[in-house]
Structure 1
Amino acid sequence: MPDGAKEPWTVMLWVIDLLLLTLAWNLWLGESTLFQGVGLVLAGFAVLQIYLILHEALHGAAANNRTLNNFIGHLSGWMIALPFLVRRRYHMAHHTWTAHPVNDPENKAMIEKFSVMTHKQERTLEFMWKHWIPMIAANHFLANWRAPFVARAQGDTSARILKETRFARLYLVGYLAMAGVAFAFGHLADLVLFYLLIWLFLFFMVELLNLPHHAEAPLLAKDAERLQYWEQDRVSHDCKSLPFWSRLVILNFNLHIVHHAFPSVPWYRLAQAHSLLHQQTDNPPASQINEWDFAWNNRRRPLLKLMGHFFDRRA
């Protein structure tokens, strides 16, 4: 299997995405509606890849140099409003405890939400799900912001929580500084609208890319031991690869089983690892659909039928 050694491709791609985002901002400031539309398309593409490169940095796979890797993680997290340190803690726990109802923070958060949901909230949730309103992703981003402050309020004064809180405050200072610069140049309203539109697109893409990988996978028992990385194909799914889209746009994010088996392998080696993995098994890969088909088919189903029956404890 390919090891976790890093080549410069992720750093180079990250710089290209930053340049694309800069170009998109300048197009957005123009007076041509066509150029503004092109700017939004470029910004959406760049921000999506910045989110995916943040994911690489969570695993230490963005760069061999740890300082550079963490710098990429922090700046990417700041640009898309997803705190790097909190996201890394949650995401590492997800990999360690995939499908566990308590120790996997993704599942724990869902169970806590579903267990106190009223029937009116259920109807609201189903309405947003059916109409492709990305409330799951928005709540996910908000939860990552709230986590260290909630932990502090509950008395957790560990070094990890204090560091997460300091960086969250530093992010907020950065946003205020950026808003101040934009205001000084008369572009504060432009900046707010620009980012609201690309955040909405990003939330949509986060749901599109993330939900298929663990949907309709059963939860473990509360007292179950954690699954080893190479056992997590029992509770993870791949999505079918599409030309250009899968490798060059979403950076092989659809190859989720091999990513869980070998989390430190960078995105540009996942296809090779995926191929080698399936050479070693007698069973062919299960039938797969791509992310777009998954969304199209399942947005017409009730969300509680798709995955809520694993989380809903109201009965």
Structure 2
Amino acid sequence: MDHRDFLASLSIEQRRELTRKSDFRGLAHLALHFGLIGLTAALIIMRAPFWPVLMLLQGILLVFLFTLLHEASHETPFRSRWLNTAAAHVSGYLILLPPRWFRYFHFAHHRHTQIPGKDPELAEPKPGTWTEYIRYVSGIPVWISHFKTLVHNVAGRCDDEYVPAGKRNAMRDEARIMLALYLTLFLGSIALGTTVLILVWVVPLLLGQPFLRLYLLAEHGRCAFVANMLENSRTTFTNAAVRRLAWNMPYHAEHHAYPTVPFYKLPDLHKLTAEHLMVTEKGYSRFHARYAPNINGVSDAAE
């Protein structure tokens, strides 16, 4: 059974229940995530015991706002459209990723998942050597990519084929607003002589990015180049803390099979898809333990 057959097998009532959105559920999860960011930031600012270690925790919490941006791009975390839009903008700005531009990028990824030449996530191949693996995990390539995207969009040179021509001026305006906001924040920090932004935002982002890279590689790394979402995406079984941190996106094959299902309904969707999933892994450590030792000379195709 492929994902189309699976979706066709669902009843109208099952579809209705799976795609039901809730502002309360979304806001509760949002409050927890941002509450932890705020608490950790406060402890760093107060120089609490072991505060440098807390910078790593802060970084992990911040970079995993990518999963909120991802969800908000689908307009699924909240019932209210304005909440989805606000969440996408706040999370995107915090991780230096233009939210409207990312929406077009991500939708192209969903339309052409694991299809070489069409899926924008395959523009850069998955690491195939130890050097590539270490570079990927470092986060350096993604920061370079984010910077290039921002600069190109600021200059009005957004020519990505997945961005409609009529929306490219909007990409330019979005990037210019982001750049103006960043400049205001950093010039204000210089004027006030404070390093708060460096300690609770910039350095933590750099420290946390490797953990997001390790997480994201498992989503499609070494999955088959086929159209079946139950085969070209990996569901990774992990603990409740990681699922909460990643807004339930470890249920990744389920998400690709039915992307309009809100994150809090993905466990329910998993119960229905479990027997049909073709690529799963028991934990991220196990995924990388299998990926890394066999990295040289192994293609990105399914093992």
Q: Find the aligned partners of 1:59 and 1:297 in 2 and give their Cα distance.
A: 31
Q: Find the aligned partners of 2:40 and 2:97 in 1 and give their Cα distance.
A: 21
Q: The residue matched to 1:94 in structure 2 has which SS?
A: helix
Per-residue deviation, 1:45: 4.6
Match of 1:6 in 2: 21
- 1:93-108 alignment runs, 5 A limit: 93-107=108-122
Match of 2:45 in 1: 29
Match of 1:233 in 2: 230
Match of 2:223 in 1: 217
The share of aligned pairs that are identical, in percent, is 22
Q: Find the aligned partners of 1:47 and 1:85 in 2 and give their Cα distance.
A: 19
Q: Find the aligned partners of 1:195 and 1:235 in 2 and give their Cα distance.
A: 34
Count, aligned residues: 283
Conserved? CA contact 1:97–1:104, under 8 Å: yes
Alignment partner of 1:265 is 2:261: yes
Conserved? CA contact 1:209–1:253, under 8 Å: no
Conserved? CA contact 2:60–2:205, under 8 Å: no
- 1:246-265 alignment runs, 5 A limit: 246-265=242-261
Q: Find the aligned partners of 1:50 and 1:153 in 2 and give their Cα distance.
A: 24
Conserved? CA contact 1:20–1:42, under 8 Å: no
- Inter-CA distance 217–18: structure 2 relative to 1 (3 Å threshold): closer
Per-residue deviation, 1:146: 5.1
Q: Find the aligned partners of 1:253 and 1:217 in 2 and give their Cα distance.
A: 17
Q: Find the aligned partners of 1:99 and 1:284 in 2 and give their Cα distance.
A: 16
Match of 2:146 in 1: 141
Q: The residue matched to 1:305 in structure 2 has which SS?
A: coil
Alignment partner of 1:196 is 2:193: no
How big is the alpha-carbon RMSD for the aligned residues of Structure 1 and Structure 2? 3.1
- Inter-CA distance 14–144: structure 2 relative to 1 (3 Å threshold): farther
Alignment partner of 1:206 is 2:220: no
Q: The residue matched to 1:239 in structure 2 has which SS?
A: strand
- Inter-CA distance 304–33: structure 2 relative to 1 (3 Å threshold): farther
Q: Give a deviation string over 1:42-76, Cα, whole Å, max 9, x none.
A: 52353144222111101111222222211110111
Q: Find the aligned partners of 1:287 and 1:148 in 2 and give their Cα distance.
A: 37
Alignment partner of 1:292 is 2:285: yes
Conserved? CA contact 1:3–1:265, under 8 Å: yes
Match of 1:165 in 2: 172
- Inter-CA distance 133–42: structure 2 relative to 1 (3 Å threshold): closer
Structure 1, unaligned stretches of length 5 or more?
A: 115-121, 221-226, 311-315
TM-score, length-scaled by structure 1: 0.77
Q: Find the aligned partners of 2:296 and 2:289 in 1 and give their Cα distance.
A: 13
Runs of 4+ in 1 over 6 A off after TM superposition: none
Residue 295 (structure 2) aligned to one of 278, 298, 302:
302
Per-residue deviation, 1:125: 3.0
Per-residue deviation, 1:96: 0.7
Q: Find the aligned partners of 1:196 and 1:77 in 2 and give their Cα distance.
A: 14
- Inter-CA distance 249–28: structure 2 relative to 1 (3 Å threshold): same
Q: Find the aligned partners of 1:191 and 1:17 in 2 and give their Cα distance.
A: 19
Conserved? CA contact 2:135–2:141, under 8 Å: no
Match of 1:243 in 2: 239
Match of 1:223 in 2: none
Range moving further from structure 2, 170-179 or 47-56: 47-56
Per-residue deviation, 1:298: 2.4
- Inter-CA distance 70–126: structure 2 relative to 1 (3 Å threshold): closer
Q: The residue matched to 1:110 in structure 2 has which SS?
A: coil
